Amino acid sequence: MQHIFNTDLTSALYTDMYQISMAHSHFNYSRQNEQVAFDYFFRKQPYSGGFTIFSGLGELLALLQEFKFSSRDIDWLYKHGFNDGFLEYLRDFSFKGTVHSMREGEIVFPQEPIVRVEGNIVEAQLAETVLLNYLNFQSLVATKAARIKLVARGAALSEFGLRRAQGIGGMFASRAALTGGFTSTSNVLAASIYDVPAVGTMAHAYIQSYDGELEAFRSFAKVNPEGCVLLVDTYDTLKSGVPNAITVAKEMEQEGHKLMGIRLDSGDLAYLAKQSREMLDAAGLNYVKIVASNQLDEHIIKSLFEQGAPIDVFGVGTNLATGKPDAALDGVYKLSMADGEPRLKLSENIKKTTLPGLKQVYRFTDEAGNFVADAVALIGDAIPDTIHHPYEPDKSMSLQGYTSQPLLELVMQDGKPTNAPVPVLEVAAYATERLSKLTEEYKRFENPHIYKVGVSKQLLDLRTELRNKYKKDL
Amino acid sequence: MQHIFNTDLTSALYTDMYQISMAHSHFNYSRQNEQVAFDYFFRKQPYSGGFTIFSGLGELLALLQEFKFSSRDIDWLYKHGFNDGFLEYLRDFSFKGTVHSMREGEIVFPQEPIVRVEGNIVEAQLAETVLLNYLNFQSLVATKAARIKLVARGAALSEFGLRRAQGIGGMFASRAALTGGFTSTSNVLAASIYDVPAVGTMAHAYIQSYDGELEAFRSFAKVNPEGCVLLVDTYDTLKSGVPNAITVAKEMEQEGHKLMGIRLDSGDLAYLAKQSREMLDAAGLNYVKIVASNQLDEHIIKSLFEQGAPIDVFGVGTNLATGKPDAALDGVYKLSMADGEPRLKLSENIKKTTLPGLKQVYRFTDEAGNFVADAVALIGDAIPDTIHHPYEPDKSMSLQGYTSQPLLELVMQDGKPTNAPVPVLEVAAYATERLSKLTEEYKRFENPHIYKVGVSKQLLDLRTELRNKYKKDL
């Protein structure tokens, strides 16, 4: 019997069945070499926020290079009714498409293309599901992480979510949390493969496995004199945990060591942090840090600081690793070109009508270095000096006097990445730098300012022309 | 650079860092052979519902057999400061514990132990994170699937969530959806490894890749005369999609084939389904099924039927695959025995105080075959004839006259599974059978009846005794 851990995750079966059904049909009409282009974009900011951190590109590009059908996969498809000719074709399949993308860690906004995949109709479709699966989730979690960092006042942030993460998706949750600005993870495997710091000291069970808390603390501190954090809430935080931690910290001092911290994992964190801080300081242990965990998110952390809680490190689990309350980013992958012609998906909801053609996104920056607006324009047209609201074309904005930067860069040519992989911590640094160029009003949690993403006149005209053409044909 | 797809997912680094820090400390005191027991249980029903489907056990037991540190893992730990003696020990580590569990697919309730792990303190701790990671998520999704099935009035249910799933956690989402009662998945890799049906036909892009919708439908139907489902909302569902589907269905009839269905993926599904049904029926195509997708969940499906929508098949994606709105089940893993002694975790919140000792769960059934209550009792004690509320001991209930069944069974002895793996569809059949024994009031969505889980007098007394002992020591 096969299990997730003995499954080849580079299998091109990691897709939706309809991608294979469609490929089968295209192959049958010898359309498999027809060139198409798809855009990845999303429609709605997660968490009712003002920005999203684009994450997941590194894993996606690495996967696309390996994305193939194994003999086992071909056998399975054969048993499920696909014919020999098509299966021979799939046996030789590999992704040879060309990908333009924004940099991983970029600050991105609804409606603008973040990734463009060009290739033949089969490879571009087969890549859809995995692209969405990798990018939607990691961008969701990276954004949550960045939101938490915004209110963390420089506190260290550790991702603790593996136990409540969505199965092995927890590997991506840890990676994405780091790209969004977290400083470490408790997930050792993720730390080892993504080369990021792992942290963790003790659980309640460690303390319960000893007859007394003090004995448990002492034993642990002796083996871990560096980086020792004692969990103080197993029996009673203020009556037992903190006093015992103070005793051990004093004993450590005798040995020339310093207790790194105590961890609060239940109860009223604001109150307990203040009381613990006082007790530690009164004992001359002002260097001992306070770590807090237990159902944290950006709103609770913000509130803890507003209450004056002296917390130095936060461990954030479930709400981060699952991207609660959203749980998903609504990113989609839509056809924009086929057979050399721009394509459009109509919808009764104008907001769901797509932007046709091959496009570039330009980001405009003011003299102070802050982001002002993004413009989506057709490749080949001049950089626009005016943008139009994508759904209310009467609304426009002049971009005169701002400097522009194209955001979509070539990242994969004919199935080969054009650059070395970017380490996770470099992605994080880029995200931090870019986020610093977004002014505060876009970053607040309540009714953030909506960042302007507009389209060029030519693109708007193309969309109108195609829409009228389709509607006439109906 | 390492990526998720070239990572050995049987690595025992798939755990929280503190598990390794604690193991290190235990090893240092030669406590690595000390025997302990842990219980897996959860505290709160997901979705404010009345039941949970236990899922994920099959993958967990398979993983535990393979859970080891590779040379690469050991090298990584060495670089991160762990000493040679401990690393030699880890190099030989494998999980040799003994596991008792409820059957996968069982209907489970808060506070009762669902799985018990017994083993040495190192293996039992190292297994914690992966156990929680596998079981919490799959149980969450299986429960969502079962809730959807409850309102689906026999309609076929297909899991469509991979593109919005939490990364590769989508593999577990598909598996869990099937254990909870879904009939198929769009996730081909999951279908191939878990041996469940895969389904899927066409996306909007297929239609857009043709100059006209009718041409696209025709081409697809010709290659896929069996099981053909045409997506009818690319341009205009009622003006274009359904009429074109009818044309193609009639053409298929000429060739001796039957169009299987049409799929609605946007707009007012109730209205469009009714209109489409009328149009199909008027054309003599009453055999053509209506498939609906787009942001569905149990509440929307219930409402669609209440509105009389004639829908035969539902494709459910994001809300199922991410377990929205909960996104996580709050399952925990708590020490109940160490060194031959029952253990307790105290909490200021009595509901977070754990149940000590080795326990069995008995399910009581009435004469009609319906589940009445579960009793948690100490192993070695008689099957209880009365249960007590776990936090309000004055509340009790007699179990006289009901038949009882022990739910925790041996599933792994000294690291070896005691039974053959259970196929996913068998798990699903068991879940369906068990859910049929839970009466309606526990299954309604609004304020469901709370199923009684009580504890035996002896267990209650043991908990009180230990609590008093710890409190006195403070």
For chain A, residues classed under CATH 3.20.140.10 are 4-138+329-356+407-473
Contact between residue B73 and residue B17 where contact means Cβ atoms under 8 Å apart: no
Say if residue B70's pLDDT is above 70.
Answer: yes
β-bridge pairing A332-338 and A313-316: unpaired
With an 8 Å Cβ cutoff, are B164 and A22 in contact? no
Q: Say what the pLDDT of residue A211 is.
A: 85
pLDDT tens-digit series, residues A300-343:
999 999 999 999 999 999 999 999 999 999 999 999 999 899 99
Q: Residue A472: pLDDT band by 50, 70, 90 thresholds?
A: confident
String of b and e for B387-403 (b: at least 16 CB within 10 Å)? bbebeeeeeeeebeebe
Write the class of the CATH domain A144-322: alpha beta
How many interchain CB pairs under 8 A, A with B?
373
Q: Which residues of B touch A169 (CB under 8 A)?
A: 137, 165-170, 172
Neighbours of B118 (CB within 10 A): 18
Contact call for B198 and A28, based on CB within 8 A: no
- What is the distance in angstroms between the Cα of A134 and the nearest Cα belonging to chain B? 5
- Closest partner residue to B235 among A134, A167, A474, by Cβ? A474
Residue B471 has pLDDT above 80, yes or no: no
Residue B43 has pLDDT above 90, yes or no: yes
List the single residue in B1, B26, B163 with the smallest CB-CB distance to A133.
Answer: B163
Residue pLDDT, tens place only, A31-41: 999 999 999 99
- Give residue B344's pLDDT: 85
* pLDDT at residue A393 in the model: 80
Instruction: Give the model's pLDDT for residue B109.
Output: 98
CA distances from B409 to A305, A401, B378 (A): 48, 73, 15
Q: Average pLDDT of A396-400?
A: 96
Half-sphere exposure of A146 (CA within 13 A, CB side): 37
Instruction: Report the gap between the CA of B344 and the closest CA in chain A (Å).
Output: 7
Indicate the pLDDT class of residue A389, thresholds 50, 70 and 90.
very high
Does the complex come out with an ipTM higher than 0.90? yes
pLDDT above 90 as % of chain B: 93
User: What's the confidence (pLDDT) of residue A49?
Assistant: 98
Do A377 and A384 form a contact (C-beta atoms < 8 A)?
yes
**Tens digits of per-residue pLDDT, A235-294?**
899 999 999 999 999 999 999 999 999 999 999 999 999 999 999 999 999 999 999 999
Mutate to test the interface with A, among B15, B18, B40 (most CBs of A within 10 A): B18
Tens of pLDDT along B363-402? 999 999 999 999 999 999 999 999 999 988 889 999 999 9
Is B420 a residue whose pLDDT tops 70? yes
Q: Which residues contact A12 (CB under 8 A, 6 or more apart)?
A: A67, A68, A69, A73, A90, A93, A126
CA–CA distance, A54 with A31 (Å, rounded to integer) = 33
Q: What is the mean pLDDT of residues B181-198?
A: 97
Range in A8-22, A344-358, B110-124, B424-438 with the lowest mean pLDDT: A344-358
Chain B residue numbers touching A472 (CB-CB < 8 A):
none
Q: Is the pLDDT of residue A394 over 90?
A: no
Nearest CA in chain A to B29: A219
Answer whether residue A367 shows pLDDT above 70: yes
Contact A198 B473 (CB under 8 A): no
C-alpha torsion B130→B136→B139→B142, nearest 10: -90
Nearest residue of chain B to residue A240 (CA atoms): B474
Kindly state the percentage of chain A with pLDDT values over 90: 93
Q: At what angle do helices B17-28 and B84-91 cross, to 10 degrees?
A: 110
d(CA B433, CA B105): 9
Mean pLDDT taken over chain A: 96
What value does the mean pLDDT take over residues A214-231?
96
pLDDT value of residue A98: 98
Provide mean pLDDT across the span B414-433.
98
Judged against a pLDDT cut of 70, whether residue B474 lies above it is answered with: no
Q: Which long-range contacts (CB under 8 A, 24 or more apart) does B234-238 make?
A: B234/A345, B234/A346, B234/B204, B234/B207, B234/B208, B235/A346, B235/A470, B235/A473, B235/A474, B236/A346, B236/A348, B236/A474, B237/B264, B237/B266, B237/B267, B237/B272, B237/B276, B238/B272, B238/B275, B238/B276, B238/B279
What single string gives the DSSP state of each residue in B148-161? HHHHSTT-EEEE--
**Which residue spans of chain B are classified as CATH 3.20.20.70?**
144-322
- A240 and B324: CB-CB below 8 Å? no
What is the helix (H) or strand (E) element at residue A433, kind and residue range? helix A424-435
Answer yes or no: do A133 and B17 touch at CB < 8 A. no
pLDDT tens profile A425-437: 999 999 999 999 9
- How far apart are the CA of B303 and the nearest CA of chain A, in angstroms? 22
CATH superfamily of B4-138+329-356+407-473: nicotinate phosphoribosyltransferase (3.20.140.10)
CA distance B134 to chain A (A): 5
Q: What is the pLDDT of residue A347?
A: 74
Instruction: Kindly list the residues from chain B whose CB atom is less than 8 angstroms away from the CB atom of residue A199.
Output: 17
Q: Among A26-40, B63-77, B341-355, where is mean pLDDT lowest?
A: B341-355
What angle (nearest 5°) sits at the alpha carbon of residue B71, between those of residues B65 and B74? 95
Mean pLDDT score, A98-124? 98
Q: What is the pLDDT of residue B345?
A: 82
In chain A, residues with a C-beta closer than 8 Å to the C-beta of B208 are 335, 338, 343-345
Q: What residues in B contact A291, CB-CB < 8 Å?
A: none
Contacts of B75 in chain A (CB under 8 A): none
Tell me the chain B residues in contact with residue A344 when contact means C-beta distances shorter than 8 Å: 208
Set of chain A residues whose Cβ sits within 8 Å of the Cβ of B129: 162-163
Q: How far apart are CA A255 and CA B435, in angstroms?
A: 60
Closest to B200 (Cβ–Cβ): which among A7, A16, A338? A16
Residue B258 confidence (pLDDT) above 90: yes
As a whole number, mean pLDDT of residues B50-73 equals 98
